[in-house]
A and B are shown apart, each in its own frame.
Chain A
Amino acid sequence: MKLSKEQVKHIALLSRLSLTEDKVEMFQEQLSDILTFVEKLSELDTKGIDPKFQIIPQENVLRKDISGMSFPYEKTFMNAPETNGKHFIVPKVVKK
């Protein structure tokens, strides 16, 4: 599986990573190698095999719906790069 430079750039955008041109080249080669490596799985016939998304047989873990204290403001925002103490501040999203 050989990726084109355009594909690498598209994957980078979907991944929200900006890449310099030399990084595009490096990842083009490495990602192609990895995708070629994992292609080995196509040798196996998996018709009729169910996927194993979860290993431990446990489902619908429920708890009682009781209200309680949630995480306090000061802890929620203590690691925010930009905050007013009650909100995360982000670059302007909507145009006027």
Chain B
Amino acid sequence: MELITKSLKELSSLMSKKEIRPSEITEELLSRIENTKDKLNAYITVEKEKSIEAAKLKDKELEKLSETEIPDLFGIPLSIKDNILVEGQKMTCASKMLKDFVAPYDATVIKKLREKGAIFVGKNNLDEFAMGSSTETSFFGVTKNPWDLERVPGGSSGGSAAAVAARSAIASLGSDTGGSIRQPCSLCGVVGMKPTYGRISRYGLTAFASSLDQIGPITKNIEDNAFLLNVISGLDSKDATSAKLPIPNYLEALNNDIRGLKAGLPKEYFVEGIDSEVKEEVMEAVKTLESLGVEIEEISLPHTSYAVETYYIIAPAEASSNLGRFDGVRYTYRAKEYQDLIDMYCKTRAEGFGNEVKRRIMIGTYTLSAGYYDAYYLKAQKVRTLIYQDFQKAFEKIDFIVTPVAPTTAFKIGEKTDDPIKMYLSDIFTIALNLAGLPGLSMPCGFDSKGLPVGIQLIGKAFDEETLYAVGYKLEKELNINNFPKF
């Protein structure tokens, strides 16, 4: 337990001076994963032999490289949410439908990390097809929160967040459609960024809601997060929605001056449904921001209370279309017995998908069907414009927005599973910015009286992740939170 408690950046710097070897860190991490996996269930697949083999090859390679030639992530083991393709490894999306699916190619983000020398040790648990806020809809069982094993880690990137918190991952990649990076990071006390829509290529990420999905880093601290975002960002010819914009140096941005920046506190985010201890911790952090020279002012985002409803029309509609491909013909699972083609489709999908996925497919199918499209889908896209305009207007006079990440700290396993709407409301503070395409940073800002982590969310202008990192970096230093659970 020496190397794995270090940050990604520290490990990278030790590697660049040849003070550690790839096999040393990889073997230490694999034994940590082994020792914690029964308690946490944060991994669906662990690639033990392959990773050790890759690390040993890198040991030899390292000897031949001069210090200046060593790539940034050389020999560093990473884990990846199991809805992103890593060639040759299983990719299950935590679904029975894909339990035997093997990735035929690398996602663009994986290709970029691989070029920098990273090793891929395993795939993290998630809600089935990333649909959920607790990792409870996984076909492979719930991931536990390392701060309290009776509680959920949040979701859908719950496996990634729990693993990073428990130091059974150095860093991980997640995906965020309505809060799936930020909410689990908040519940597990780690750092997660949902970058601006288009910042990162989605090629090789299993599509859930294509106009909302975005990949992002989940890390122990802000610096690691900026470090990874530098590597995975950028235009990709394989994703027409990736942005044709230069990639800023996010590590340099950490040192940007934040004095005089204006932060908005949206009054709609501090009203009903929010736990009083969460509110208190977030407001304490806001005071800390003030002490760092940030000017705070109250703002209004008047359509906030329509965001969850809007999302639960748009996301299921897009999902019902995206998940149409799982038809028993191309993607491993096919029902054993059926009468004809239609019956084969219906049985394969009934057997392969869990209840939450079925719910969303059916809601989406209904809202897109003839006669209902205008009333639901088109209406929701119009409300999306209003939500977008709220943010545009706010950003005319402020530089970033501060809110809680989630209305409560980690809740008990099973507490919300029977009530889909109650579960949907746990994303009440994260959903709006997916609809508006904006970047959001989730970072720990304190603990409640049960000792569970509380997170704060910084929302930025489109493609201004730099300001969020600069503010987050200083806030992190000032708050000095120990986010390593004793479990």
Contact = CB atoms under 8 A, between A and B. Distances in A.
A17 B380 contact: no
B310 A88 contact: no
A91 B341 contact: yes
A92 B341 CA distance: 7
Q: How large is the interface on A (under 10, 10 to 19, 20 to 34, 35 or more residues)?
A: 35 or more
Contacts, number: 156
Contacts of A41: 306, 309-310, 313, 379-380, 383
A34 B312 contact: yes
Contacts of B342: 16
A82 B327 CA distance: 12
Given A37-B421, A82-B334, A31 B359 contact: yes
Given A34-B420, A46-B383, A79-B104, A56 B240 contact: no
Interface residues of B, number: 69
Interface residues of B, dominant DSSP: helix
Nearest to B334: A81
A18 B347 contact: yes
A63 interface: yes
B174 to A, nearest CB: 20
B306 A40 contact: yes
A16 B366 contact: no
B362 A35 contact: no
B421 to A, nearest CB: 5
Interface in B373-394: 375-376, 378-386, 388
Nearest to B326: A16
A57 B364 CA distance: 26
6 contacts: A11-B366, A15-B349, A18-B343, A56-B196, A79-B332, A92-B341
Interface of A: 8, 11-19, 26-27, 30-31, 33-35, 37-38, 40-42, 44, 46, 49-56, 58, 61, 63, 71, 75-76, 78-82, 88, 90-93
